[in-house]
Amino acid sequence: MAGVNPPLRVLIVDDEDLVRGGLTMMLDGVHGIAVVGEAADGDEVPAAADAHAPDVVLMDLRMPRVDGITATRRLRLRRDPPEVIVLTTFDADEDILRALRAGASGYLLKDTPPARIVQAVHSVAAGEPILSPGITRRLMDRALTRAGAYERARDALAALSPRENDVVVAVAQGRSNADIAAELHMSVATVKAHVSNVLDKLHLDNRTQIALLAHDAGMA
C-alpha cells in the first residue's frame, strides 16, 4: 500500500542459540519489525550484513571468535551502515564506553523488558540513541574523570559555530530534535542539519558520542 513504511530489518548476533531464538520469536511478531537474519559470532556479521541489508543489528558483546566491539567497528566502516544496539549481560563502564566509541547507538542489558527492546529498535533506526536506565549518568560521570578529557573536548568543540554548540548542549541534555527546534526557534530540519554538521566536523558516529564530548567539556 502506498505510504506504508516497510518494516525495520533486524539482524540478531549472539553465540547462544536460545538467545537468538528467543529474540527472533519476540521481535518477528511485532508490527513494523522483521528479523531478516541471525549470526552466531562476530566473524559472521559482514556476510550476514551483505546478505540481509539490516537497518538495525542487535549485537552480543562477548563471542568466541570476534567480539561485538570489533564487529560493530567493522560495520560502522561500511557504506550506509546499520545502527547497532549492543545487547549483553555485561555493564562494566569500560565495556559500555568501548561499544559507544566503536559506533553503537544503543547499549541494553539482556534483562531489559521486551517492550523496551522493541522501543530501542525503533528509536535507533530514527536516530535516537538508547541506553539501559542508570547507564547514562554513570557514563557521563566516568567520562568527566578521564585525564585530559576536558581540554581535548573543548579543543574539539571550538571548531563548531555558536549555533552548533547550542545544539550540542541540547543533545547532551537528552532533548529530542523537536524539543531542540522549539527551544532554539528553528525547524526540525535545521536541527537535523546542525546535528549532521557536528557529526561530520567532529568525526563522530551518533548523538551519544556528541553527548559524551559535551559532558567532557563541561557544557551540560
CATH number for the domain that contains residue 128: 3.40.50.2300
The model's pTM is: 0.67
| pLDDT score for 144 | 57
Residue ending a domain, among 90, 107, 133, is: 133
Mean pLDDT, residues 63-75 taken together = 96
Instruction: For residue 106, tell me if it sits in a domain.
Output: yes
pLDDT recorded at residue 1: 47
- Retrieve residue 146's grid coordinates: 578521564
Give me the residue label for grid cell 574523570.
145
Banded pLDDT at 97 (limits 50, 70, 90): confident
Q: Is 203 left (phi over 0), alpha (psi -120 to 50) or beta?
A: left
The least confident of 2-16, 76-90, 160-174 is 2-16
89 and 52 assigned to the same domain: yes
Q: How many domains does the chain have?
A: 2
- Listed residues 88, 103, 133: the one ending a domain: 133
The reply to whether 37 and 118 lie within a common domain is yes
CATH code, 181: 1.10.10.10
User: Are the CB atoms for 109 and 88 separated by under 8 Å?
Assistant: yes
Residues 174 and 123 in one domain: no
Range of the domain at 86: 8-133
Q: Is the confidence at residue 3, as pLDDT, over 60?
A: no
Same domain? For 79 and 172 the reply is no
3-state secondary structure of 12: strand
Which is higher by pLDDT, 25 or 135? 25
- What integer pLDDT is reported at residue 99 of this predicted model? 92
Beginning with the edge strand found earlier in the chain, give each strand of the sheet holding 130-131 in spatial order. 33-39, 8-13, 56-59, 83-88, 106-109, 130-131
Compute the distance between CA of residue 167 and CA of residue 183 in angstroms, rounded to an integer: 10
Average pLDDT over residues 69-75: 95
- Asked if the structure places residue 141 within a domain, the reply is no
Residue 214: pLDDT over 60: yes
- Is the same domain home to 39 and 118? yes
